[in-house]
Amino acid sequence: MQLGLIGLGKMGGNMRERIRRAGHTVIGYDRNPEVSDVSGLAELVDKLEAPRTVWVMVPAGAATQSVIDELGGLLQPGDTVVDGGNSRWTDDEKHAEELGAKGIGFVDAGVSGGVWGLQNGYALMVGGEAEHVAKVQPIFDALKPEGPYGYVHAGKVGAGHFSKMVHNGIEYAMMQAYAEGWELLEKVDSVENVREVFRSWQEGTVIRSWLLDLAVNALDEDVHLDKLRGYAEDSGEGRWTVEAAIDNAVPLPAITASLFARFASRQEDSPQMKMIAALRNQFGGHAVESAKK
């Protein structure tokens, strides 16, 4: 299968490689000419055989809207656009309507896997009409982890990004719990090797997880996280999760508190946020700030 892929950053570049390894043809475009296969979107579309499938992996909001607008003028009826970024689900409904008026299909895909996706595969949460999803299925199969799990057609347009949003909200709360436990262990005199306590939890406990494994990786690199500043950004999806909870009258105390903790990290050098920052760097390659000397 042929695929046009727009956005070849940390995730997009690895996705291109994983799809190619599965035997598909990927024509990629990025503003960085050193990694791009073509000079622009027009050339990308021109190199694809109809019916075309184009996957967008650019930042949510204005950047995605700009690409969608340009593709709407280049693609033809019967083509399909996939938004694999972290767009808000309400934007998906708008994009599907805009493209649908031109006979172009639209699929939203929440993608999880970060910098480890090339090796482990990407978890995919997909929204859209069944006929449009089916056109992209070979690519989904190439990207997902081996085995029966890691892919779901979650529902209609917007369902994929809404599901990924909730996934990230849960991720916020899980990271916050590990961070709080780590800070408490570091605080008391009786516990002399916090890193090894975390390591001991990796087998045989009910809190073992990939996030715990990544926490141990981070502590192996910096045993007390002294090199990090206790500052953590939020991607937007945590906020959207809390907003959706308010709109639907669903109580989310743990997720909401974890979001507010990140806000607090921007006021002082928070020990807990050192662990949050370390975990975000481990699983997603997100930037960290060095501790002030």
Residues forming beta bridges with residue 142, ordered by sequence position: none
Q: Which long-range contacts (CB under 8 A, 24 or more apart) does 150-153 make?
A: 150/121, 150/122, 150/123, 150/124, 151/123, 151/124, 151/126, 152/124, 152/125, 152/126, 153/126, 153/127, 153/128
Q: Is 128 left (phi over 0), alpha (psi -120 to 50) or beta?
A: left
Q: Which ranges constitute the DSSP H helices of the chain?
A: 10-21, 41-47, 62-74, 89-100, 117-120, 130-143, 159-187, 194-200, 210-221, 237-247, 253-265, 271-284
Task: For strands 53-56 and 25-29, give the pairing.
Answer: unpaired
- The reply to whether 171 belongs to the active site is yes
- The residues near 114 (Cβ < 8 Å, ≥ 6 apart) are 10, 11, 283, 284, 285
- The reply to whether 164 belongs to the active site is yes
Per annotation, catalytic residue among 135, 144, 171, 274:
171
Per annotation, catalytic residue among 34, 98, 102, 164:
164
Task: Report d(CA 17, CA 36) in Å as an integer.
Answer: 13
- The residues near 71 (Cβ < 8 Å, ≥ 6 apart) are 41, 45, 54, 56, 81, 99, 104
Tell me the catalytic residues: 164, 171
